[in-house]
Amino acid sequence: MKINMLIQTVCTVSHLNKAMTMIKSISRFHEDLEFSVLVTDIISEGKPKIQEVVGSRIEILCCEDIGMEATEKMRQYYNAFEHSCACKFIAVYHQFLHNRQECLYLDTDIYALSSLDSFFESLNQDIVVTPHSLSICNKFVGGTYEFCDLNIITVGHINGGILYFKNTPKSVEALKWLIESVQSGGFFAPGMSMYCDQHWVSLLPYYFSDNTEVLKDPSVNIAFWNLHERKLSEENHIIMANGKAAQLFHFSSFQIPNHGKLVGFSSEEGTLGNITRHLFFQRLIKEYEQQLIMEKERFADIEHPLGFCNGPLHHRLCVAQDMLGIRYSHFGLEDIPIIMHQQ
């Protein structure tokens, strides 16, 4: 067990059911861990009602609590997804300012399948990140389209769903750099080489190479994008990944109803189709779906007065330019953004 470990997540009210499902899945194996949820579309007056639902053990934060002007500024040009991705670093930095020594950020759609002891024991660097894949992802397998290397290039090779930071000078430096970077470069705009926070966290192993580890554990951050290399099986009612007890599954893009599929765009063939045919995997999908539905009912009456910018991307980019004093331009004929700060 890591000493003084806090697990942080960020979401809107609409995703509180996912946050609680994640927290409860981990608490089955680690009942003494502490959790914090930054809910980005509530005000301080709305916290007690959520706190009543989740219990006193889980810290509920709103953007007022973390006290950075950037959270409200970004609300004017980011949508809810972009805003949450940007706020994860602000939330971790907030915890360090309040003397937390270690913080593990997890996306709300992470689900624990077993004890995380071996994962915690592997967190030996100031910063630990997890890659989308550790091996070649072929585009076509048996004539069926798969998540492939081109997709990974598009989204960034490091996944933003599992990020560990130790409260050290280098981690704080990295967090400050990330906070500044995602304020202008955190749009969900793959055609402009932006994928919220993921291209930025993909630079951590290079910009902070002496302090960042890329975790190569097949039992952590299992998701549809790496099932070609994570061979899942069941032994004595335990899901295994490459012969090791699976620890953290990432239900990214999971939909309700899911019709027995891990992701809506999966076909009946190929890697995703083949893995979902297994009875143990169908049980996992059903278990996760039932937990989400049950938790959804608990938050049905929670108000969320704060909004985000849901206009077209071009409009939101223009708003950001005006507010931040920057300019998004393009180099030649390619759709590559050059962010230039005006003098």
Q: What local confidence, expressed as pLDDT, does residue 266 receive?
A: 62
The residues facing 195 across adjacent strands are: 188
Q: Which residue has the tokens 């700060």?
A: 341
Flag residues of the chain having pLDDT under 70: 1-4, 140-146, 266-271, 273, 330-343
Q: What local confidence, expressed as pLDDT, does residue 328 receive?
A: 84
- pTM equals 0.94
Alpha helices for the chain (secondary structure H)? 16-27, 47-54, 63-66, 69-74, 80-97, 117-121, 149-155, 169-185, 198-201, 204-207, 270-276, 279-298, 313-324
Q: What local confidence, expressed as pLDDT, does residue 143 receive?
A: 57
Q: Do residues 144 and 267 make contact, with C-beta atoms less than 8 angstroms apart?
A: yes
Q: What local confidence, expressed as pLDDT, does residue 142 receive?
A: 59
Phi, psi of 279 (to 5 degrees): -60, -40
Q: What local confidence, expressed as pLDDT, does residue 192 receive?
A: 87
Q: What local confidence, expressed as pLDDT, does residue 68 receive?
A: 83
The angle subtended at Cα 156 by Cα 192 and Cα 13, nearest 5°, is 85
Q: What local confidence, expressed as pLDDT, does residue 336 receive?
A: 46
Q: Do residues 80 and 40 make contact, with C-beta atoms less than 8 angstroms apart?
A: yes
Phi, psi of 149 (to 5 degrees): -60, -35
Rg of the chain taking only CA atoms, in angstroms: 20
Q: Which two tokens stand for residue 318?
A: 């223009």
